[in-house]
Amino acid sequence: MRRNVPIGYRVVRILVLWVVCAGTGFKPVSDRESEYFAAASSIELLGEIYREVTESYVDDIDPSAFVYAGIDGMLETLDPYTVFLDSEESVELDELTSGRYAGIGVRIARIGGEVFVVSLIDGAEASKAGLRVGDRIVSVDGHSLEGKDLDEVKTFIKGPPGSRVKLRVHREGSRKSRLFRLTRSEVKVNSVRYAGLFGSTGYFEVSTFGNRSADELSRAIGEVEASAERLNRTMDAVILDLRDNPGGLLGVAVDMAGLFVEKGSRVVSTRGRSSDSETGYRTEREPVVHELPLVVLINERSASASEIVAGAIQELDRGVIVGARSFGKGLVQSIISLPYECTLKMTTSKYHTPSGRLIQKLRNGWDEGSRKVLRTGRSQDETAAFYTRNGRTVYGGGGILPDVQVADDSLGGYETALRKEGMLFRYANRFRASNDFLPPDGLDGRALMADFENFLDEREFTYRTRAELQLDDVKAALESRPGGDSQRAGALVDSLEQEIALLAAGERTREAGSIALALEQEILRHYDEDAAIRSGVERDPVVKKALDILRDPEAYRELLRP
C-alpha cells in the first residue's frame, strides 16, 4: 500500500546539508545563495517538526505516512498535474504509457455495488477462457469483492506473468457460479479503439497516446486500405477521432502528426520558466497519409497530446477540425525517478502550437489561492488572433477551437438516470442470457422497449425529474409551516404536481427513441463489441458531419482557404 518509505530525521538533516552545500558552492553570499539558505532553513524547520511530532505526539505516528503527507501538501500548492507517485502508482503510470500490463485482459466496472466484466481484450486470457461481457465477478482467489473498490479489485486480478488467478463468476441465467482458473500474461492494449471503412472513408478512433500508438495507427491505416482493396474500393479520405482522448506522450503526438504532414514540419513547441527554454519539435518520418482529405474530431474531453495533433493539423492546413473546443491541457510533465521506486511527475513547461497559440486554458479554481503556477499573466484572450500556413485566422484562449463546431449527442435526464443505475447494461445482460444469438431479422425496437419497461417495473426503478424533486422540497416546507391557508396552498401544490407529472411524462416520451437505440447498441455490445462500436459511429452526428464535409470536395477546400 501507499506511504511505506522509511524516512527519518537524520535523512532530513542530510538533505539540509546537501541543499546548503550544493546551493552555495562555498561561493560569496549572493541573492541566489540567500534563496538556497531560505530553502535550507525551511527544510531544517520541517525536520524539527518531524522529530518533535514523531517523538512526543500523544498517539503513535506512522513516520512514512507523516512525511508522505508533507510531500503531498507541498505539491498541492502547485498545479493539479504535479504529483508524487509511490511505487504502486509508478507502476500504473508505466502501464498507461507503455500500453502493457500483466493480467488477463478484462475491463471491469462497479454497477449497483457489484463488479461486472464490461469489456474484453481480444486474444487475451480472459477472452480465450470464455469470460464474456456481463459476467459478475464474485471473488478473486477467494477474496470476496463485496465492499471492495475497483482499484483494490484490480490489484487482486493483476500479477506477475505466468502466475495463476482464480475468478469465481456468476453468469445471468445460471443458478451456479463458475470458477475460471487463468494464467496471467502480458496484455497489450491497442490505443486504436476502432478502425473501419465507411463508404470510401477510413475512420480511426484513438483512445490514448502510449509508446506504440503512432505505429498502431499506421498499421491500422494499412489494414483499412487493404480491406478497401479487397472490396474493390479505394480509401480516399480519413477521419481521425480524438474525442475523449486524454492525451499522453509528447513524442508520440509528434510521431502521430507525422503520419499526416510533411516530414520536417514543426508540430509543437514547449516553453519553460526561463526565456531561452523554448524547444521546437518537428516530424521525423515520411507521412503515411499525405494527400488524402482529413478531418480530425475533438471535444471538450480531448486533451494534451490530442490537442497537439489537432492544433498542428489545423495550423498546417492539413485537415479540417470538427467538434467542440478541446479541454485546454497544455502543461508538460517530466517524469523524474526517485529512490524506492517512486516517481515525481512535475510540470516543467507549456505547449504552444506552431503559430504560437497557448494550449493551456486558465480555469476557475486553478488560478486562485496557492496554485500560482498557472497564474502567470501569460494566458491568451479568446479574441487573440493567430494565423495558419494558408493565412486562415485561428484564435487563442486555450484548447483548440474547431473549424466546424458540432456538439456530441448529450444524454437526457431519463437516459442519464438509467445509465447511472446500470439499467441498460442489466437488461442487455438478461437478454444475452435468454438468447444465444441475435435475431436474424434484427431487433424489434417497439417490442424491446415494451419488455424493457416491464424490466424496469420488476426492478422497481423510478425516475424523478429535477422539478419533481424540487416540488418535494416545497411540500416539506409547507407541511412544516405553522398556520396559514393550508387548503389553498395544498390546491396549488396539487395543480403544480399534475403539470410537472405531465412534463415528466413528456420528457420520457421524447427520450424514448434515443433510449431504444442505446438499448439496441448495449445488447449488441454483449454479443460483438466491434459491431456495437460501428453501430454507434454510424449514428454519431459529429461523424455524419465529417462525412458530409469529405463528400463535398469544394466545401472541404473552402474550409481550408483564408
Distances (CA, A) of 132 to 110, 193, 197: 16, 18, 27
Q: What's residue 307's pLDDT?
A: 96
Nearest Cα neighbor of 402 from 329, 538, 302 is 302
DSSP state of 294: E
pLDDT at 365 over 80: no
129-143, 444-458, 460-474, 484-498: segment of lowest average pLDDT? 484-498
Distances (CA, A) of 150 to 110, 146, 323: 7, 11, 32
For residue 360, give every residue at least 6 positions away whose Cβ sits within 8 Å of its Cβ, in sequence order, or none: 328, 329, 330, 331, 350, 351, 374, 379, 398
pLDDT at 370 over 50: no
pLDDT at 18 over 70: no
pLDDT digit string, tens, across residues 159-207: 889 999 999 999 999 999 999 999 999 988 899 999 999 999 999 999 9
Residue 71's pLDDT band (cuts 50, 70, 90): confident
pLDDT digit string, tens, across residues 474-520: 777 777 666 556 666 677 777 888 888 888 888 888 998 999 999 99
Structure-model confidence comparison of residues 332 and 19, the more confident one: 332
pLDDT digit string, tens, across residues 261-317: 999 999 999 998 887 788 999 999 999 998 999 999 999 999 999 999 999 999 999
pLDDT at 375 over 80: no
Distance (Å, whole) CA 131 – CA 120? 8
Residue 95 carries which side chain, given as an amino acid letter? E
Label residues 505-517 b or e (16+ Cβ within 10 Å = b).
eebbeebbeebbe
pLDDT at 11 over 50: no
30-34, 315-319, 352-356: segment of lowest average pLDDT? 30-34
What domains does the chain contain, in order, with CATH numbers?
A: 9-76 (no CATH), 100-188 (2.30.42.10), 192-408 (3.90.226.10), 413-539 (no CATH)
Q: What's residue 243's pLDDT?
A: 98
The torsion defined by the Cα of 544, 548, 551 and 552, in degrees rounded to 10, comes to: -170
Over residues 74-79, mean pLDDT? 87
pLDDT digit string, tens, across residues 87-100: 777 777 776 666 66
pTM value? 0.83
Mean pLDDT of the chain: 87
Residue 343 carries which side chain, given as an amino acid letter? T
pLDDT digit string, tens, across residues 386-399: 999 999 999 888 89
